[in-house]
Chains A and B, each alone.
Chain A
Amino acid sequence: MDKFTTLTGIAAPMPLVNIDTDMIIPKQFLKTIQRSGLGKNLFDEMRYTQDGQEIPDFVLNQPAYRQAQILVAGDNFGCGSSREHAPWALLDFGIRCVISTSFADIFYNNCFKNGILPIVLPQDQVDILMADARKGANARITVDLEAQTVTASDGQSFRFEVDPFRKHCLLNGLDDIGLTLEKAAHIDSFEKKVATLRPWA
C-alpha cells in the first residue's frame, strides 16, 4: 500500500447524496480477478453513454477535473455493496482522498486498506470545500494527514479527526496482516481458551 502523507491536488465536486458503490463501479466490472485497471470504468454509467461515449456534463469528463485527486462528495458516500472494487477504481483513476459529511462504514474501512484517505467534516465546511472545488483546476485543495488538516485554495483550513491506528498505517503504508501476525501468540491462546469454553464454535 502506498503511503499517504500530504496531497495537494484538484478536487472534483460531486454534491449528490447517497453515491453508492454500484454507481462508483457497476457490477459488470466486478468480474475481474485483479485489483488494477478499474479506473477507466470508475462511475461508468454516469460517465459514459450506453455505447461508450463520454457524457460531457459528468464532472470527471470536464477538462478541469480529468486530473482530479480529491472528491468532495454529498452525504453517505460509498453506501451499499461492500465491493472493494470501489476504492480500487478510485485509486486507479488517481483519487487519493474523498471528503464528505459521512461515509458508509464498509467503504470507509476499505479506503484505508488502499491508501485512500476518507475525511469527514461538518456540512458547513464541506459546503465551503464544495464551492472551492467548483472553481476548477486552479483551485487546489491541500490535505495534510500528519497535521489532520484540509486547506482550501484561499487558505481557510479545517481540522479533521482520524483514528490514530489508521493514521499510523496510512502514514507509513503498513500492511495490516503483517501487524496482526505479530500477535499470533494472542490468537493461539484465544483459540485454546475458546476450545474449552465454546467447543462447538
Chain B
Amino acid sequence: MTAPRTLYDKIWDDHVVHQAEDGTCLLYIDRHLVHEVTSPQAFEGLRMTGRTVRAPEKTIAVPDHNVPTTAGRDKHIDNEESRIQVEALDKNAKDFGINYYPVSDIRQGIVHIVGPEQGWTLPGMTVVCGDSHTATHGAFGALAHGIGTSEVEHVLATQTLIQKKSKNMKVEITGSLRPGVTAKDITLSVIGATGTAGGTGYVIEYCGQAIRELSMEGRMTVCNMAIEGGARAGLIAPDEKTFAYVMGRPHAPKGAKWEAALAYWKTLFTDEGAHFDKVVTIKGEDIAPVVTWGTSPEDVLPITGVVPAPDDFTGGKVEAAKRSLDYMGLTPGMKLTDIAIDTVFIGSCTNGRIEDLRAAAAILKGKKIKVKRAMVVPGSGLVRAQAEEEGLAQIFIDAGFEWRLAGCSMCLAMNPDQLSPGERCAATSNRNFEGRQGRGGRTHLLSPAMAAAAAITGHLTDVREMMAEEV
C-alpha cells in the first residue's frame, strides 16, 4: 500500500515524464495557454532554432492583456505596439496551428476565464501559461501555474517543464461565510494572514466547509490569488460542483470518455493522513469584507478598520509601510470608510465572471454612482453576452457604469484603460502595486459587491450596511 498522498502529490506523480537522481523532474503539461504579451519572444525562439510546437492541439491562444475594451477593436487597434503584439499572436497561432480565439470571436476574453469556460481546463491536469494568474485553474483540481517566456518556449517545443517539487501547504477555511463576505474576502484575508511570501516554495490546497460552499466562480477567485501569497499554485479538490461545471463544455470529454474521466477525477483528493508541511486555519465566520490600504496585496484590513501606522509593523515592513502610505496619500488612524474613491473597476481574471457581475449588479440595482468614473469589463465575450441576457448590463449602464468589451483592461493597464497620477480606484483585480493601474494611480482591492458599494457612496463602504438597508 502506498503512503497517503495529497492532491498535489497525486497530480504531480501522474505527470512525471522523467526524474533525475537529484530530484529534478520533467513534468508533462496537458494544457498550455498563451497570450500576446509573454509569447512573441518564445515563438521567435522556435523559428530561430527551427523547432515546432510539439502539441498544438493542447495549446490555446487568446489576446487579452493589450486589447482595447472599446468598440471597433476587431477592425483596428490604435496603439501601434499593442497592434503589433496582437498581430504577432494572430500570425503565430496560424503558423503553428494552435487553437485560437481572436478579438473578433465572441469567445475571446481573459485567458484564465476562457480556458475553463471552453472546457480546456479539466481536473487532474497540468496547466501552464506565461501569466502568474494561471493559479486560477487550480479551482478545478488542476495543477496550474505561471511561467516565464523561456519556459513558454520550452513547453511549446517539448510539452514539458523542468521542475522540482514544491512543498505541501493546507489552507483550511472552516465553517460558513457571513452575509456580505465573498471568495475575494477569503483569498485576501489569507494573504493578509500569511504575507505575500508566506506561500513561497509551496503549493496550497484550499479546503474546509467555506471552500466547499463556494461556487466554481468563487473557487477560481480564491485560487487566482494564490500567487499573491507567493505560492506556486493553489488547488481545490474537485467535487460534484466541479463536474457539473465542466460537463457539456465544448472541449470537455463526452460519452465513454466522460465516464472514464469522472472515475479518475473522483480519485483526486488528499488522502486521510497525508502530510502537509504547513497548515493555516481560518474560521469562515471571522472573515469580514476586506480592502487593501497599501501597495502590497498583504496590506489587508477589514473595512471596519483604520489606516495603520508604520510603527505597527516590524523589520523591512516599517519602511515599506511608510512608502505605501505616502504613495497612497493616506494618514494613519483614518477610517477606511472615509477614503474617497474616484474610479471603480469591476473585472479581471480574479473577478470578471458572471457571478461577480451578478453580485455587483445586486448592489447597484436602481442606484446611481457617485464616483467620477466606473467601468465593468466582463472576463469574456460569453460572460458579457450572458450578463446582457440576464439584464445585468442594463443595471450597470443605468447606474452610470461604462459597459466594456472583454479583456484584462485596467487590472494591469497595458491598454488605454489607465488611472491618472493620484487617481484613486476601488478595483476587483488582484494587484495594488505602485503604478499597476497607471503611473501614480492608487488601488484599493476589494470584492465586486464592495466595489459596487463604493461606486454608489463615493467612498470605501461596508457593503453589509447596504444589504441591511434592503431588508
- Is A180 touching B148 in the complex (CB atoms < 8 A)? no
Q: How far is the CB of A31 from chain B (nearest CB, A)?
A: 4
> For A181, what are the chain B residues with a Cβ–Cβ distance below 8 Å?
157-158
| A157-198 interface with B by 8 A CB criterion | 163-165, 176-177, 179-181, 183-184, 186-187, 190-191, 194, 198
Tell whether A83 is near chain B: CB-to-CB under 8 Å: yes
Complex Cα–Cα for A180 and B101 (A): 30
Binds B, one of A3-11, A22-30, A54-62, A135-143: A22-30
Tell whether B290 is near chain A: CB-to-CB under 8 Å: no
- Is B85 touching A18 in the complex (CB atoms < 8 A)? no
Q: How far is the CB of A78 from chain B (nearest CB, A)?
A: 11
Q: Which residue of B lies closest to A189 (CB)?
A: B17
- With contacts A20-B433, A82-B148, A180-B26 known, is A32 near B81, CB below 8 A? yes
> For A45, what are the chain B residues with a Cβ–Cβ distance below 8 Å?
434-435, 439
Q: How far is the CB of B125 from chain A (nearest CB, A)?
A: 6
Fill in one digit per residue for B11-44: 1 if any A CB lies within 8 Å of its CB, else 0. Answer: 0001001101010101010100000011011001
- Is B200 touching A165 in the complex (CB atoms < 8 A)? no
Binds B, one of A63-71, A89-97, A98-106, A145-153: A98-106
> For B257, what are the chain A residues with a Cβ–Cβ distance below 8 Å?
199-200
Complex Cα–Cα for A197 and B258 (A): 13
Complex Cα–Cα for A186 and B194 (A): 39
Complex Cα–Cα for A110 and B132 (A): 12
Q: How far is the CB of B19 from chain A (nearest CB, A)?
A: 10
| B256-296 interface with A by 8 A CB criterion | 257-258, 260-261, 264, 296
Tell whether A81 is near chain B: CB-to-CB under 8 Å: yes
State the main secondary structure of chain B at its contact with A.
loop
Tell whether B184 is near chain A: CB-to-CB under 8 Å: no
- Is A18 touching B296 in the complex (CB atoms < 8 A)? yes
- With contacts A35-B41, A76-B196, A79-B197 known, is A110 near B148, CB below 8 A? yes
Q: How far is the CB of B224 from chain A (nearest CB, A)?
A: 13
| B126-161 interface with A by 8 A CB criterion | 130-132, 145-151, 153-154, 157-160
- Is A187 touching B159 in the complex (CB atoms < 8 A)? yes
> For B201, what are the chain A residues with a Cβ–Cβ distance below 8 Å?
105
> For B38, what are the chain A residues with a Cβ–Cβ distance below 8 Å?
30, 82-84
Instruction: List 4 A-B pairs, minimum CB-CB distance, nearest first.
Output: A200-B253, A31-B81, A113-B150, A84-B148
A residues with CB within 8 A of B: 15-18, 20, 22-23, 26-28, 30-35, 45, 50, 74-76, 79-84, 87, 102-106, 109-110, 113-114, 163-165, 176-177, 179-181, 183-184, 186-187, 190-191, 194, 198-201
B residues with CB within 8 A of A: 14, 17-18, 20, 22, 24, 26, 28, 30, 37-38, 40-41, 44, 49, 51, 54, 65-66, 79, 81-82, 84-85, 88, 122, 124-125, 130-132, 145-151, 153-154, 157-160, 162, 164, 196-197, 200-201, 227-228, 230-232, 253, 257-258, 260-261, 264, 296, 298, 315-317, 319-320, 323, 412-414, 421, 431, 433-436, 439-440
14 extra interface residue pairs, beta carbon distance < 8 Å, beyond A27-B412, A183-B17, A201-B30: A15-B319, A16-B316, A17-B317, A22-B434, A35-B41, A76-B200, A76-B230, A79-B197, A81-B132, A81-B431, A105-B200, A165-B162, A186-B18, A201-B124
Query: Would you give 19 A-B contacts (Cβ < 8 Å), ordered by A?
Result: A16-B323, A28-B414, A30-B65, A35-B41, A76-B200, A81-B412, A104-B230, A109-B147, A165-B20, A177-B158, A180-B160, A180-B162, A187-B54, A198-B14, A198-B264, A199-B257, A200-B257, A201-B122, A201-B125
